[in-house]
Amino acid sequence: MSGARMDLRWPADRFYWAVLDTSRLPATTGARRTAQLGYLFESVLPGVPIEAVHAVYERLPGDRVLACGLPVETVAAINGTTMTLAPEALPDFIEAPVSAERLNLLSGAYAPAGVRRARRVTLVLAALSLVVVSALVVTGLERRRAALLEHAAALEAGRREVILEVTGGSSTAATAQLALQLEGRRRLLERTRTIPGGASASIGAGDSQRGDADHALERLIAAWPTSATVRCRSIEIDESTISVVVLLNAMADEEVVRDALAETPGWTLTQPTVERRGAEIIATLRLERAVEENAP
């Protein structure tokens, strides 16, 4: 004993001892492992049930475990100011590389109240720390999400301001036409910046082809009707053809679109195809480059 009864050290003969062979036990942990070791320890106790013994176990090299125990009533009667209870030394018949001080019987349900309180405080602090860290992570993610949404909204507002500025806020049809022009330009740039095989087009050799496609798109957009409400699904341009797929609100709009695109300079409109898919009316218009533009 040291200090004011803070540590108890008893002779080895006051304890129950055993070296348990665990080679045949299944691989378990926690309470199940303790119960298995208790059944083995009980087999060598002098007529005492394991329920009446409080034991601690120390792993030894190989499939062996050192067991050390005291009667439950003895451990329960220890003064509350005592922090540890252990044997002074190992008995002579046990040879094991274990320090006797490690076999503290004031553990588990018999740990001192101060130790149990400290453990509870530690667990509470760990839980609070986890909550705080989780809250910080969620807050950071939410702020990032809000910033991205705000940035996207600002870009959309800027796009609308540019369209309204160019059109003078005149009409919905004019605004829709300019929006179509911008979308067409974007898709054109995406297509004309690559060549077959996925390689980037070099500046020089493909400039004339990209310029032709650019001029064809400008002429097509210039001829686009503003009187009909149509939505452009796709525009495909190559050296000799333009293919346009639009969504119509009514069958009558097909004639308006056809008559308008027929006026595209340098291009000849072939017979369009119109089909209805559920509630959608889809028109496909094909323009071919006029013969005179291909002439030498």
pLDDT tens for each residue of 232-263: 888 888 888 888 888 888 888 888 888 888 88
Are 191 and 221 found together in one domain?
A: yes
What is the domain extent for residue 189? 172-294
Based on the domain organization, do 122 and 42 belong to the same domain? no
| pLDDT (0 to 100) of residue 207 | 45
C-alpha closest to that of 13 among 75, 66, 78, 90:
90
DSSP state of 100: G
**Same domain? 150 vs 254:** no
Q: Look at the chain and report how many structural domains it folds into.
A: 3
Could you tell me if residue 2 is inside a domain? no
* Per-residue pLDDT, 201: 38
DSSP 14-50: GSEEEEEE-TTS----HHHHHHHHHHHHHTTSSS--G
The CATH number for 274's domain is 3.30.1360.100
Report pLDDT for 204: 39
Do 28 and 46 contact (CB within 8 A), yes or no? Answer: no
Q: Considering the domain boundaries, does residue 1 fall inside one?
A: no
User: In terms of pLDDT, which residue wins out, 90 or 169?
Assistant: 90
The residues near 36 (Cβ < 8 Å, ≥ 6 apart) are: 22, 25, 26, 28
Statement: residue 13 has pLDDT above 80: yes
Q: Could you give the C-alpha distances from 130 to 22, 69, 117, 121, 143, in angstroms and in order?
A: 37, 37, 20, 14, 20
Using alpha carbons, select from 228, 201, 221, 208 the residue that is nearest to residue 261: 221
Please give the share of the chain, as a percent, with pLDDT higher than 70.
76
229, two tokens? 């409400």
Which of 63-72, 79-88, 125-134, 259-268 is most confident? 63-72
- pLDDT of 211 reads 55
Rounded to the nearest 10 degrees, what angle do helices 113-167 and 172-192 cross at? Answer: 110
Shared domain for 145 and 101, answered yes or no, is: no
Check whether 113 has a pLDDT greater than 80. Answer: no
pLDDT at 19: 93
**Domain identity same for 183 and 245:** yes
- Shared domain for 91 and 146, answered yes or no, is no
Tell me the β-bridge partners of 231. Answer: 247
Question: Do residues 208 and 267 both lie within one domain?
Answer: yes
Residue 205, CA atoms < 13 Å, CB-side half-sphere: 5
Distance CA 220, CA 214 (A): 10
In terms of DSSP bridges, do strands 7-10 and 267-269 run parallel, antiparallel, or are they unpaired? unpaired
Instruction: Report d(CA 146, CA 136) in Å as an integer.
Output: 15
Q: Tell me which residue of 103, 76, 83 sits closest to 3, measured CA to CA.
A: 83
115 pLDDT more than 50: yes
Overall pTM > 0.75: no
pLDDT at 169 over 60: no
Does residue 47 lie in a domain region?
Answer: yes
- Mean pLDDT for the chain? 79
- Assess whether 196 and 149 both reside in one domain: no
CATH number of the domain bearing residue 51: 3.30.420.380
